[in-house]
Amino acid sequence: MDEPRDGRDERTGADEPPPIGGSWGRLYAFVMIALGLLIVAFTAITRHFA
């Protein structure tokens, strides 16, 4: 491959919007919130049934 391999220069294509969800930032936030909710749920399950 002849193209330069410098990572910082190669992150083109990252601006392409997601097919759903509006923006990538919103999707990432959604994933993090879902993870937080799962951790809360697992903690509640652990404590309730212990």
Residues that bind other proteins (CB under 8 A): 1, 3-8, 10-14, 16-20, 24, 27-28, 30-32, 34-35, 38-39, 42-43, 45-46, 48-50
- Shortest spacing between CB 17 and other proteins, in angstroms: 7
Record the tokens describing residue 39, joined without a space: 């951790």
- Shortest spacing between CB 40 and other proteins, in angstroms: 9
CB 18, CB 24: distance < 8 Å = yes
Report DSSP letters for 3-35, one per residue: S---HHHH-TTTTSPPSSSS-HHHHHHHHHHHH
- Shortest spacing between CB 29 and other proteins, in angstroms: 10
